Amino acid sequence: MPFFTADSYTAPMTSTSSTQSDEHLWLEDIDGAEQLEWARQHNAKTVQRYAQSPDFERMEQGILEVLDSQARIPMVRKIGPLFYNFWRDRKNPKGLWRRTTLAEYRKPRPDWETVIDLDALAEADKENWVWHGAQCLQPDYKRCLISLSRGGADANVVREFDLELKEFVASGFALPEAKSNVAWKDMNHLYVATDFGPGSMTSSSYPRIVKEWKRGTPLESAATVYEGGADDMTVSAWRDNTPGFERDFVSRQMDFYDSETWLRASDGRLAKIDVPDDASTEVTREWMLVEPRSPWTVGGATYKPGSLLAARFDDYMAGKREITVLFEPDDTTALDDHSWTRHHLILNVMHDVVNKLEVLTPQAGSQQWKRESLGGAPELSTIAAGGIDEDENDDYFLTVSGFLQPTTLYVGTIGRGEPEPLKDSPAFFDASGLRVSQHFATSKDGTRVPYFEIAPKNLQANGSNPTLQYAYGGFEISLQPSYSGAIGRAWLEQGGVYVVANIRGGGEYGPRWHQAALQRNRLRTCEDFAAVSEHLIARNITSPRHLGAMGGSNGGLLMGNMLTLYPKLYGAIVSEVALLDMKRYTHLSAGASWIAEYGDPDQPEEWAWIQAFSPYENAKKGQPYPPALFTTSTRDDRVGPVHARKMAAKLAAMGYDASFYENMEGGHSAATDNKEAAFMDALGYAYLWEHIGRTST
C-alpha cells in the first residue's frame, strides 16, 4: 500500500508549457497555510511509521550523544592572538562562540571565555538564530561582522561586534536579512552587496550590485563600486589588509565556475586580472596562485586543467608572464587543497582519493620553489594540514582521520621536526571487528570508478548484508575517508556495510572528473553509481533486496535518478534536501545559479538532455520503484522544499510507497541544532533498516 493517498487539490491553470501538466504545482507556495499543513500531515505519518519505536529512540539518542559529546575535538581558528571555536552541546543547543589561548588550548580541558552565547541572544531577540560565522577586521581584529540566520536559511542578518567589549556595537554597521556579500574595507568602510531593492538581485537570488558603505551614513547613500548583470550569479568586493600588501578586489561571478576579478585602485578604477574565466585565482602577499579548469596557453606554454600555478602578482599585473608549475595532475592524482603559512605553501594531494602532503617554499629572487614532503595518511585515511596564521608564523594544524580512525589533531611548525599530537577524538563505536577496503568498478563507458567499503572483517559474501551506498557526484566536491560516530553507531555497529562511491561529477581526480559529468553528460553520475551497485552485487556483498542508497542535495538528485532509472538495483532510497524537478529548478529558490552544472531547461535544445535526469519528469506509473523517503526543510532557501514535496506527492498519487518529512527549520542542512540533526539522521537510517534489513521483505 502507498504511504500517501492522492490529494484532492487541483493545480492552478497556467499559460506556460512547463507548468500546464503539473498537478502538484500548488506545493510551490513554500509558506502557504495549506502547503504547510500538507507537510505537517505527512510528517506525522512518517514519524508514526518510522520514528516511534524503541529502536529508533535508541538510535536517535546514540547519534545525539556523539553530536553533544564533550570529548569531541573543539576545532579552532586563530583571530588576533586568541583561538576561537563555535561549540554546540546539550547545554548550549544553539551554541557558544568562545575563545582561549594556545597554551590553554593545549590542555585536555581548556578554560574557555564565552564571547557570544547564541542561546541567550536568541532568547533575548525572540529569534531562532543559527550561527553563520564571523568576519574580523585585519590586522587588529577588534571588530567583527557577525552573520546570523533565522532558522538556518542562507539569508543572513549581519551585525557589527566589538571583540574587546564582547558586545554588539550600538549604531554600528547592520544589515537586514538578505543573501549578502559583505566585507571590511577598513574600520569605517564596508564593501556591501545585498538586496538594495527592486532590480538589485540576480535571477539566482544573489546580489548583482556591490557598494562602498561609510560608517554613520544610510545604506541608501553607499557609492556603487560595480554592477553585474541580472543573469550573473553574484558580485562581491573585499580588501586584503595584510600589512604591506593592502589591496582591494572586485569579483563578478557569472556562473558557478566562471568569474572575473579586478584589482581596484584607490580612485575606483578597475584593472582586470587576466586569467581564464574558469580559473580559480588567489592573491596572497606577493604571490598569485591560479588553478585553471581547462587548458590554458599563456607566455608560450600550455598548462593542464587542475594544475596549480604561481606568479608574482605585481609582475603579472605589469604584463610579465613568468609562471611556475607547483602541481600538475595525472590520471590518478589531483590537488585537493592548499594553504599558506608565513613562508611556505602546503599542498594536499590525492592519489586515488588518498592524501599526501607537500611543503613548497619560494626561493628568494627567482621563480623556483623548494619541495619537501610533510607526510602521508595511513592507509585509506585522510590527512589535511593548514596554516594557523599566514601573516605571523609557519605554524600549522594537521588532522588525520579515517572511516574507522577517530580524528587526531596535531600542531607543528614547518622546518622544526615532526608535528606533536594535540587532541584526540574518542572512538564513538567499536571498530575492532570492521575493516576498510578500496575497490574499483567499471562504468558503462569503461571508466574505472573507485569506492570505499566499510564492512565486518568476517563478512559473509552471501548477498544478504544490509548495505548503504552513499555518493554526491557534483560541483567538483570529493568524498574522502572520514570518521562518523553517527554512521558507526547507527549502521556499522548494527552489522551493516557502508559504501562511499567516488563517482564522476566530484573532484576526486580534479576538474576532468567533474567535467566528465556536466550538463549533457550528467547521466554518467548515475551510470557510475549503478556500476558500483552492480559490482557489490556481483561480489555477493549484497543484493537489490538489501541494498539501500542515500544522498543529499546534488546527491539527492542522484537518488531521485537511481529511483527512476535503476529501480531494480535497490531495496530503498533516501533522498535528502534534493533537486528533483529539473524542468522548473531554475525558477525555484537559488536554482538559476546551477545552470553551469546542469544546463538551462528553458532552452529547448538543453531540455532535450536535461529531461533524461529529471526524476520528477521521469516518474511513471507501473514501474518497480523501491520505497523512497524524501526529507527537506521549509527554511532551505538554496534548493528549497518544493522539489521533495512535489516528488513525494507525485509518487504517492501513482500508488508508490513514498515517505516525506519536512523540518520546519534548518535551512539546507535540514537542522538548526544537534537534536534536530540527530532526529534527521536517525530517520534516514531507521527507514533503511526497515526496508533493507536482513529480515525485510
Residues marked active site are found at: 553, 668
Which of helix, strand or coil describes residue 558?
helix
| Residue in the block written with cell 501513482 | 654
As to burial, measured by CB atoms within 10 angstroms (0-12 exposed, 13-18 middle, 19+ buried), residue 297 is exposed
Q: Is the dihedral of CA 150, 152, 154, 157 positive or negative?
A: positive
Cell matching residue 121: 541572544
Which of helix, strand or coil describes residue 576?
strand
Dist. CA 639–CA 590, nearest whole Å: 6
Dist. CA 560–CA 646, nearest whole Å: 12
Contact status, residue 174 vs residue 188, Cβ threshold 8 Å:
no
Q: Which residues face 449 on adjacent strands?
A: 441
Q: Which residues face 207 on adjacent strands?
A: 201
| Residue in the block written with cell 589533531 | 409
Peptide bond into 207 cis (omega under 30): no
CA 670 to chain centre: 13
Contact status, residue 547 vs residue 533, Cβ threshold 8 Å:
yes
Dist. CA 169–CA 588, nearest whole Å: 36
Count Cβ neighbours within 10 Å for each residue of 618-637 and write b for 16 or more, e otherwise. bbeeeeebbbbbbbbbbbbb
Dist. CA 561–CA 529, nearest whole Å: 10
Which of helix, strand or coil describes residue 310?
strand
Q: Which residues face 175 on adjacent strands?
A: 158
**Inter-CA distances, 351 with 309, 335, 356, 379, 694, Å:** 19, 9, 8, 12, 36
CA 181 to chain centre: 18
Which of helix, strand or coil describes residue 643?
helix
Contact status, residue 416 vs residue 376, Cβ threshold 8 Å:
no
